Amino acid sequence: MVTSSNFQSTTAPMDSSATTTGRPAPKASAAAPAPGIGRTLIDIDHVDFYYGAKQALFDVNVKLEEKRVTAFIGPSGCGKSTLLRCLNRMNDLIDGTAIRKGSIKIRDVDIYGRDVDPIELRKRVGMVFQKSNPFPKSIYENIAYGLRIQGRNKKSDLDEVVEKSLRGAALWDEVKDRLHESGLGLSGGQQQRLCIARTIAVSPEVILMDEPCSALDPIATAKVEELIHELKKEFTIIIVTHSMQQAARCSDKTAFFYMGQLIEYDDTKKIFMNPSNPQTEAYVSGRFG
Amino acid sequence: MKRFFDNELETFRSHLILMGETAIRQVRDALKALVDGDIALADRVIAADDELDDLEIKIDTEAIRYMNLRAPVATELRLVIVGMKASHDLERVGDETTSIAKRAVKLAAEPQLKPYVDIPRMAEIAIEMLRGALDCFINGDSDGAIAVVKRDCEVDAINKQLYRELSSYMIENPQTTSRALELMFISKSIERIADHASNIAEEMVFLNKAEDIRHREELKKSGV
């Protein structure tokens, strides 16, 4: 059971910001709301984000739903990847970045709170990148790696997770007879699914995907999209994509960004059938510019 | 930003407007042929149905091509879908006008059963509905489209009234049966034309607002 506080340091006190709203701080899994499709999981509350002096996100305010696929769309430089990377604090790795206003909460816990361990957070909020990046290790070890650094080395345990993860990533049948060959020997599409398998091996709650199919051919893309459709039964997925068709095919909700602002967020069918904002309509119709 | 294929949508729109104008002309001519007993005009109406058939095929072909190659979304997607449906309705309007023209030819060979008052009146409403639906397409006017839908019951009411009246003719004098039946079919054709105009108006609301207003009883009952 994923808890509301399990990306927090176990030794540090609860972040005071989690209690300033008047709500009691979540304590244990039993106190957390039962996972439910469509329930707010990630609350991005009026966020301003800066790269040094340059503001990249302006008052972004949106609630992302549990076990749904949310697509972030928008032209290059609109802030969609920046926001995605805020969700597991990947931006912490860049000097001078900061959320100067607002907060991001996952299950009511401020993920930028002082007691939140970013490493723990990234276990809960996994990420798949544009370019597949398997470790220069065997297929098996690529999956097992995340478990080993958690101290889980029991072979039967690892075997089970490796198989489950590869099955979950729709890769098992293709690699089950060569688990100890290098992950780098797989095709581009297989490598990307290996990275997805590696991500789900540590049982995250959220999977962030930053243009996961942009380097893949249509067949590999179709397999990843099929996989996304399956994965949303267990995970909350947020995908950044430049492909309008991919956003339309894969996502339940779509957020359109432009120049650092969230222009429109709604059901994907609404965004692609009857968007409320003319800028959204212009973008999804390819008339932007 | 203009795209290199934007003219394809303009052509598509133009063909739909041309089809609407052609259908309206056909209805007007078919009724004139009936009222004036003008066989030559009736023959021209029958022959001109091919124009509507050709336009329907052209619009369908353009729509399928556009969906296949341009992957439209939002307003464009609705335009293409609505264009295909509206062109089908307009083609059926053409079929009804052909039917009216053929019956006009038969009726022209016999003495007039009764003064033509109600049929031109209901035809005028049907034409106004078609014109209204077409204007809504051109102007993006959803309120006007809903007003068109509400008028359908006016035509239905006249059709029922004519049915009762023409039935009385047949009961009172069986010699009038064939002419009364022709007029009943003509009345029914006009009622169907109004239905198609109403369908097109509903489609225009979907085009403009992405709202499906079909089969709403409150719209069908109001207006009389």
> Residue A98 is inside which H or E element, if any?
strand A97-106
B9-45: pLDDT as tens digits: 999 999 999 999 999 999 999 999 999 999 999 999 9
3-state SS assignment for residue A205:
coil
pLDDT range class, residue B68, cuts 50, 70, 90: very high
Split into its structural domains, chain B has a count of 1
| Cβ proximity of B145 and B205 under 8 Å | yes
Question: Least CA distance to B208: which residue of chain A?
Answer: A274
Q: How confident is the model at residue A35 (pLDDT cuts 50, 70, 90)?
A: low
Model pLDDT for residues A55-68, shown as the tens digit of each residue: 999 999 999 999 99
Q: Give the chain B residue whose CA is nearest to the CA of A274.
A: B74
Provide the mean pLDDT of chain B: 95
Answer for the pair B103, B182: CB distance below 8 angstroms, yes or no. yes
B interface test, pick of A274, A280, A283, A287 with most B CB neighbours within 10 Å: A274
Q: Does B40 touch chain A (CB under 8 A)?
A: no
Reported confidence tier of residue A19, pLDDT bands at 50, 70, 90: very low
Q: What is the pLDDT of residue A23?
A: 39
**What is the average pLDDT across A88-94?**
93
**CATH number reported for the structural domain that contains residue B128 in this entry:** 1.20.58.220
Which has the closest alpha carbon to A43: A4, A100, A94? A4
Question: Do the Cβ atoms of B73 and A287 come within 8 Å?
Answer: no
Percent of chain B with pLDDT over 70: 98
Q: Which residues of A touch B (CB under 8 A)?
A: 244-245, 248, 272-275, 281-282, 284-289
Mean pLDDT in residue range A129-150: 93
**A47-62: buried (b, 16+ CB within 10 Å) or exposed (e) per residue?**
bbbbeeeeebbbebeb
- Give the residue-averaged pLDDT of B129-147: 94
Q: Which residue has the higher pLDDT, A223 or B64?
A: B64
Q: Which domain holds residue B92?
A: 2-220
The mean predicted confidence, pLDDT, of chain A is: 88
Strands laid side by side in the A97-106 sheet: A54-65, A40-51, A97-106, A109-110
CA distance A88 to A229: 22
Q: Output the DSSP codes for A101-170.
A: EEEEEETTEETTSTTB-HHHHHHHEEEE-SS----SSBHHHHHHHHHHTTT---HHHHHHHHHHHHHHTT
pTM over 0.90: no
pLDDT digits (tens, 9 = 90+) for B192-216: 999 999 999 999 999 999 999 998 8
- On the question of pLDDT at A11 being above 80, the answer is no
What is the mean pLDDT of the segment spanning A76-103? 94
Using CA atoms, how far apart are residues A193 and A197, in angstroms rounded to an integer?
6
Q: A159-203: per-residue pLDDT in tens?
A: 999 999 999 899 999 999 999 999 999 999 999 999 999 999 999
What is the ipTM score, two decimals?
Answer: 0.78
Q: CA distances (Å), A53 to each of A29, A60, A93, A98, A259, in order?
A: 40, 18, 17, 10, 16
The predicted pLDDT at position A28 comes to 40
pLDDT above 80 (res A263):
yes
